[in-house]
Structure 1
Amino acid sequence: MDRPGNEGDAVRLEGVRKTYGAGDSEVVALAGVTVGFAQGTFTAVMGPSGSGKSTLLHCAAGLDQPDAGSVTIEGVELTGMSENELTKLRRDRIGFVFQAFNLLPALNATQNVAVPMRLAGRKPDAARIESVLGKVGLANRRDHMPGQMSGGQQQRVAIARALATGPAVIFADEPTGALDTSTAREVLGLLRDAVDKDGQTIVMVTHDPMAASYADKAIFLADGRLAGELRSPTPDSVAERMTRIGAWQERVAAR
């Protein structure tokens, strides 16, 4: 179970360490990271390339096992779970939104949103699917195939799919990376609404200061370690912090 005082965390990482390779080629992706993501909040995870952002997301979502430390989702410890148990937890309690929309091209919007329910062996909840498609503004596109929709509409379907099972947390990995600025703002607005109106918890990896400004908080990673946070981030404050982290990394590398 989660530790006392962290009951409000939908996801918590305690002392998480992850390395790749061995010996001289060993790379420390996460060096003992401790961080919590409170229920009903939107957090942006930022940092330079190679800082550990994607590894943090993968460990937090049970897609990768840390070498040390613990990960809990709604107080449930992931460490030591079998692959079957992790698969069930991801299917039932986690939503994913990626830069690549990952829709099945032979299925229409309604059918794509129903995929997690079918994978869980449950009959798709038609009312729930209609509700989430309405929330993302696609009620009139429910029968359209991915090839008949724009990139922004496809990402809306992906968000509806992530929301459909009422997950404990949605992990978003560069969800607006393939979209133009105007469409990106619409998609980010949908994620913001999911937090504000439905109490959803969202953890989003991004390199974009504008995207991070939609979050309640931005946390920064550098060389596998936490390098600070910003509450109520703005594009300018995020960009300034990223510039400082980059300058610090350059100084360390030059030593």
Structure 2
Amino acid sequence: MFTGTGGGTDAVRLTAVRKVYGRRGNEVVALDDVTTGFGRGTFTAIMGPSGSGKSTLLQCAAGLDQPTSGSVVLEDSELSTMTETELTELRRDRVGFIFQAFNLLPVLTVEQNVTLPLRLAGRSPARGRVASVLEQVGLGERRRHRPAELSGGQQQRVAIARALITEPAVIFADEPTGALDTRTARDVLDLMRGSVRQTGQTIVMVTHDPVAASYADRVLFLADGRVVGEMQSPTADAVAERMTRLGAYSDEARRAPAAGGQR
């Protein structure tokens, strides 16, 4: 079992997390004894071959999916002991989400999309909070526009502002630049990294792109449902080289049972 943290107090901590789909005899192990943490005020990228468990780890850490066994603690909350209502409230109040699809409501303005999580919770933003967040993401002049009037990069900035508005403990991002061109993706990643540096936001990002991962403080590598390594202060070239080796690792691990049976 490999363990690693981003340093400092963890915003999220997973301990011996195992996630199995399917029934006995037809089981798929998505996560296999994963122990890791994501430090407060850090930016972590999660990478691995297809089927390595990246999205499952994100979903378990965010309280979207329940581990088969093990512990997930977000701030001071043990997710396994919470009711579905409590988990819904925690995700609404303490967790932000950014996805490849921007998931904006086309009939709402930028400001209305950003404040939607608060309105759904029956809350109003603090005075000046919306303007501050929109300025932070570079959309201060676009608050009255609707999504169709914005570029793809601007729409993703709206999604980031929506994730920031509740001042969450952690933001989970799943391939947030996957639908953007290279230059726009770089701008969005700069914005995410700036949020970590300037406001102490915690971000956990699943990505397949070594360049995107190079914007993070740390890269966590998965293969076959296990954490198999990490890299601090990553560069795109170093991440790409490690991913090449991870692909080989994953292939060898899948062949190992068959090879063993032939001996």
Deviation string 1:18-37 (CA, Å, 9 cap, x unpaired) is 01111332100001100000
Distance in 1, matches of 2:251 and 2:92, equals 41
Match of 2:26 in 1: 25
Partner of 2:106: 105
Structure 2 counterpart of 1:208: 209
Q: Which residue of 1 aligns with 2:146?
A: 145
Which deviates the most, 188-197 or 16-25?
Answer: 16-25
Unaligned residue ranges in structure 2 (runs of 5+): 1-6
TM-score by length of 1: 0.96
Shift of 1:126: 5.0
Per the alignment, residue 244 of structure 1 pairs with 245
Question: Does the C-alpha gap of structure 1 residues 126 and 10 become closer, same or farther in structure 2, counting only changes over 3 Å?
Answer: same
In the other structure, the counterpart of 1:85 is 86
Matches within 5 A, 1:176-255: 176-254=177-255, 255=259
1:249 CA drift (Å): 1.8
Q: Is the 8 A contact 1:7 1:75 kept in 2?
A: no
Question: 1:7: Cα distance to partner?
Answer: 6.9
Deviation readout 1:135-159 (Å, 9 max, x if unpaired): 0000011111001111100000000
Secondary structure, aligned partner of 1:79: helix
**Paired residues, number:** 250
Structure 2 counterpart of 1:163: 164
CA distance in 2, matches of 1:67, 1:209: 31
Q: Is 18-27 or 216-225 further displaced after alignment? A: 18-27
- TM-aligned CA deviation for residue 120 of structure 1: 1.1
Aligned ranges for residues 46-65 of structure 1 at < 5 Å? 46-65=47-66
Counterpart CA distance in 2 for 1:45 and 1:25 is 27
Equivalence for 1:3: none
Q: Distance in 1 between matches of 2:21 and 2:252?
A: 25
2: distance between equivalents of 1:115 and 1:130? 15
Q: Separation in 2 of the partners of 1:115 and 1:87?
A: 15
Query: How many angstroms apart in 2 are the aligned matches of 1:67 and 1:131?
Result: 41
Report deviation, 1:172: 0.3
1:116 alignment partner AA: P
User: Deviations 1:180-206 (Å, cap 9, x if unpaired)?
Assistant: 000000000000000000000000000
2-side partners of 1:227 and 1:175: how far apart? Answer: 24
Q: Distance between the aligned counterparts of 1:111 and 1:124, measured in 2?
A: 11
Q: Which runs of 4 or more aligned residues in structure 1 lie more than 6 Å from their structure 2 counterparts after TM superposition?
A: none
Q: Equivalents in 2 of 1:100, 1:125: separation in Å?
A: 28
Match of 2:132 in 1: 131
Alignment partners' CA distance in 1, 2:60 and 2:87? 11
Question: Partner residue of 2:9?
Answer: 8
CA distance in 2, matches of 1:116, 1:37: 24
Partner SS, residue 122 of structure 1: coil
Report the Cα distance in structure 2 between the residues aligned to 1:171 and 1:149, rounded to whole angstroms: 23
- The runs of 5 or more residues in structure 1 that have no matched partner are 1-5
Deviation at 1:125, TM superposition (A): 3.5
8 Å CA contact retained: 1:45, 1:205: yes
TM score, norm. by length of structure 2: 0.93
